[in-house]
Structure formats: C-alpha cells, structure tokens
Structure 1
C-alpha cells in the first residue's frame, strides 16, 4: 500500500502531513515592501502555541525550511513565500516552491542545517527532530494533521504569526470561512445522498469524524464508512463486498494520480459494475494531493464536492 494512502490510517497519520494541483490556484505573492517587512519585523519576538508547545521566535524569519506539504502551501498563500529557502521532496505546490531532496519521513539535521534556517516547520516530530534542531538554536513549529476546520485555521494563523504575516493569514482564514459557509448553505441536502471516499485501493476510507469526512459533512452527505466494523479508528479498511452492498450514490476517488483509478477501473472490480455511482456516472476523480492536505486548497476540494452534489441532486 502506498504511504500516502496509509497516511490517513490512525497508526500512520503522520504521513498525511508529509504526502502529497488544484482547480483554483492562488497567484504567487509578491515580495513584501521594505516598509511592510520592517513593520512585520517590529512585531517580534512572538510566541506561537504549536503542536510542540509554546515556541518563541525572536526575529522575523528570513530563511524558512518547510518539511510539510500543507505548511508549504500555507506559507506561500499568506505571503511568506519569499522567506522560504527550502521545502521537502513532497512539497509540489505551488510550483515555485524551492523543492529539495530534504525528507519529512527521514529528517536529517545536518542536511536541514545546511540551509541555515531560522525557522523549520514540520508535520510530525519524527526522530525527535524538533529537539535536535533546538539544540543548534533553530526554532521548530510542529503543525500536525488537522482534525477539524478550526484546527486547520489555527495552523494558518500560527504560521502567519511566526513569519510576520499575521494580517495576510487572518484574511486568508476569513476568506476560507466565508467560501466554505457559502458552499454549505447553497448545498441541496434534501436527498441525503450517500458516498464512498476511496483513500487507498486496498481499500481504506474515511469516516465523518476525520478532517476529510468533515468536508463532506458540509453538504449533508451520508458516509457509508461510518457503518464499517472498524469505523472507530476513523480510517476503516472496507471490503469490496461492504461497498457493493452499501451501493453509494457518489464515489470520490483520491486514488487517481497515485493509482490510476477512475470509473472504468472501478467497473472492472468484482461486483462493482452494477454500483449506482458507476452506472449513473457519479464517480468523481479528485486531486490526490488536495484531498490529503488541510491547507488553503481545502476550499478547492469543497468546490469539487459541491459541484458533484449539485449534479447528483439535480
């Protein structure tokens, strides 16, 4: 099984933050003016409550290393792109992000320090990397996989405060809230459509209590995975028979880029050709990366789900 797909299983949740472009992409932020940079610098030192506790950053960071694809997307979205000097090998958005061979799965202190970072952002403290970097006076923010929207918003605000881009981060969060609220309010919820989200071809799925599940929850969809025997963990492994019996109205595939899955490949699976979603052309191909991250592009995911629900309900 691919690491990206296993990432969302509770035992390997860390990988989600390191894995992986979308329908709507933010334009690359322009470099801050000297006046705005000076104003931002005057706000320091700042203290951020991250996943690794309170982290104090003495000066506005100008050499940021991101080992989290979600954090990378967020940093560029809030205007901190010019401050980023290196990102991990899986940070593939935006295209201008300075991708390197650095690994979030196997972080190497010596390799990270070569970039002379004054801030490192990670999704999980693998191999106690935060403490190791702290020993060489490099502040580290651990921003783990979000469990709900508020958690995702908090992380964006954390990065805004930590990088001197607090105002831009607040505006981004406000924009995300408004758009998600709008999409949810306009969603036709009367039919109570059911769905299956394929996280992995094994197949693993997600329940309504996960971050991805909460995106679908905005639209009043019924998650077939909630009835799975091992649903309590949030990422149950479903049998082909279970899915065929549930016969979901909609199927969302987060296995398109990784595994080449689509409506035709699903139809070839034993017992699946008669599924309503396949017969009615309600198989939605997602961007694997967008569907596995909890940053600004969650709005793109929500728009995709919104379009699918409108089409199915109409």
Structure 2
C-alpha cells in the first residue's frame, strides 16, 4: 500500500486514486509568486522523512519531484528554479516542468537520467526508495499528511533541504493566518452543522481522521462519514440512502473534474432534493486537486468552505 495514502484506499478503484492525487487541469487563481530566495540555511543539513534521515552536503540544484503536493510546496517556498523535472500528476503551478515520469509506476532509471541531487516522493511505490538508493540518488519521502500540522512540517523540511528555510517559514505563517481568518469569519455559526465530502459519485467519502476531514473539524462541522460502519479506515464508501438520511447541511464535491459532478447533478439525484445542503444552496464545487493535496492551497480550500458556510 502506498505510504502517502491511507490503508483503506487500497480498496478504491484506480480512477478514484487518481482523483485523490492529481486528476485535473485545475487553474485555481492563486498567488504562486515565490518569495525571493534568501539562500537561507547552512549546508550540510540533515532532514528527516519517512525513509529516515538524509544529509545534504550542498544545496540541491537538480530536484526531481515525484509528488504533486511536493511540487506545489517547492514552488511556493521559492525552490522552483531548482526543480528540474516533476511527475506526470504535477499539474500545478503552470511553470512546473511536467514530464512523463509516472507517479504510480515510478522507474528509478528514468528518474536517475535527470541526474538529480534530490528526489522528493510521497509514495514508496514499487520499492522506488531502495531502487534510487542503489543508484546513489538522495531521496526524501514525505507521505500524505493526516493533519494540518503535517503540512507545516513538510514545508519546513523542504525549506531546510533546499536552502529556503526562511521562505518556508513565511509560507507556513501565511497559510496559518489565512486558515485562522477563514474559521474566524464563520464564528460559531457552523457548530454542529453536518458535512458530506464526496470523493466520487459512488459515494466514497473522507472522515474526520483524514487530512481533509481535519479542516472541517476546525469549523466545528460534524462529518457524516464518521458514523459510517467502516469509517475506521478514514475513507468509507457510503450510499445515497445513507447520505440523504444523514441530511448534511454542507456538501463538498471533490469530483468536479474527474467525474463532472456539480450542484446541478447532485440536485438531480433521487431524494437529494430533501437534503438541507441542496435545498439551501450550500454545495461547494471544489477542485479535485485542491481538495486532495495537502500543500499551501489548503488555505484556499478553507476560504472556500468559509464562503459557502457564510452563504
């Protein structure tokens, strides 16, 4: 099972796995201008990932990112000029040097052809970490976040690893401030309201134990996936009857790109016209990418949630 996705996702269809990592050509209007580099941080530096400690003797100048989220982080902290290549799911920002390197069937030799002095991954698929180690390619494995704090820690780790510690700190502070402001803007109005997060039209959802679920918890929302029979894995498959019966006050669609779902298609589903979220127009048509990655754009997502809750 990939270490960047919860164990429960091993049962999900491949199409949904693609949705959860990078299924779209999203063009969310976000300020991606990287802060000016201060070349902060002294080398050598030692950083830690899920694959252990990594010591970098010099600032890496040829980075390969095999993670769509890591790509977003690297560009956000000002390390974009050091990124030589990214995997085929890294579609943001536009200037990311997307290649045919497969995120799901990574090939060590193909990655090594770029002569990277750092490879950042979110999964150890096909034993890619050991394969790159055998080729003496430095790797940093940063798995999928389960909490917002994981996002901040990974940004700081990448800042240290790339010589952009100061910029990474600024990005973290900005994301924290924006999320706090989004939550504060709603106040206690959302306390106790129910949310349904849709990953695909077959009603896979995300419980509070997941990264995206933790965002809803900040707003005081009750996640209907938490009481599902198999919610322990974090990503239960619900049913139309269950969702309607739970009467969510907010529906978040994270399948707008992959599966062309919208407020209109939801309203056309049998019995969904009785759901408070449908009746009262509280349906967030989110970008699949923004709603599935744990990079800096989580602030955009939190602000979108706040906007819908505010009406």
TM-score by length of 2: 0.90
Give the length in aligned residue pairs: 299
* Pairwise CA distance, 1:24: 4.3
Aligned pairs for 1:10-89 (under 5 A) are 10-12=8-10, 18-20=21-23, 21=26, 23-29=28-34, 32=37, 36-37=38-39, 40=41, 43-89=42-88
Q: Distance in 2 between matches of 1:255 and 1:103?
A: 22
Q: What residue in structure 2 maps to residue 106 of structure 1? A: 105
Q: Do the aligned residues in 2 keep the contact of 1:148 with 1:210 (CA within 8 Å)? A: yes
Q: What residue in structure 1 maps to residue 151 of structure 2? A: 152
Q: Do the aligned residues in 2 keep the contact of 1:188 with 1:310 (CA within 8 Å)? A: no
Q: What residue in structure 2 maps to residue 126 of structure 1? A: 125
Query: In 2 relative to 1, CA 76–103 (structure 1 residues): closer, same or farther, beyond 3 Å?
Result: same
* Pairwise CA distance, 1:15: 6.3
Q: Which whole-Å deviations, capped at 9, do the CAs of 1:37-81 have from their partners, x for residues lacking one?
A: 4x65xx111111111111111211000000100000000000000
Q: Is the counterpart of residue 143 in structure 1 residue 122 in structure 2?
A: no
Q: Do the aligned residues in 2 keep the contact of 1:47 with 1:55 (CA within 8 Å)? A: yes
Q: Do the aligned residues in 2 keep the contact of 1:196 with 1:225 (CA within 8 Å)? A: yes
Q: Do the aligned residues in 2 keep the contact of 1:8 with 1:16 (CA within 8 Å)? A: no
Q: Distance in 1 between matches of 2:19 and 2:293?
A: 7
Q: Distance in 2 between matches of 1:190 and 1:83?
A: 44
Aligned pairs for 1:111-260 (under 5 A) are 111-190=110-189, 192-260=192-260
Q: Name whichever of 287-296 and 50-59 sits farther off.
A: 50-59
Query: In 2 relative to 1, CA 30–194 (structure 1 residues): closer, same or farther, beyond 3 Å?
Result: closer
* Pairwise CA distance, 1:121: 0.4
TM-score by length of 1: 0.90
Q: What residue in structure 2 maps to residue 296 of structure 1? A: 296
Q: Distance in 2 between matches of 1:29 and 1:305?
A: 25
SS of 2:22's partner is: coil
CA RMSD of aligned residues (A): 2.0
* Pairwise CA distance, 1:200: 1.4
Q: Distance in 2 between matches of 1:131 and 1:45?
A: 23
Q: Distance in 1 between matches of 2:119 and 2:19?
A: 18
Q: What residue in structure 2 maps to residue 4 of structure 1? A: none
Q: Name whichever of 234-243 and 128-137 sits farther off.
A: 128-137
SS of 2:202's partner is: coil
Q: Give unmatched runs, 5+ long, in structure 1.
A: 1-6
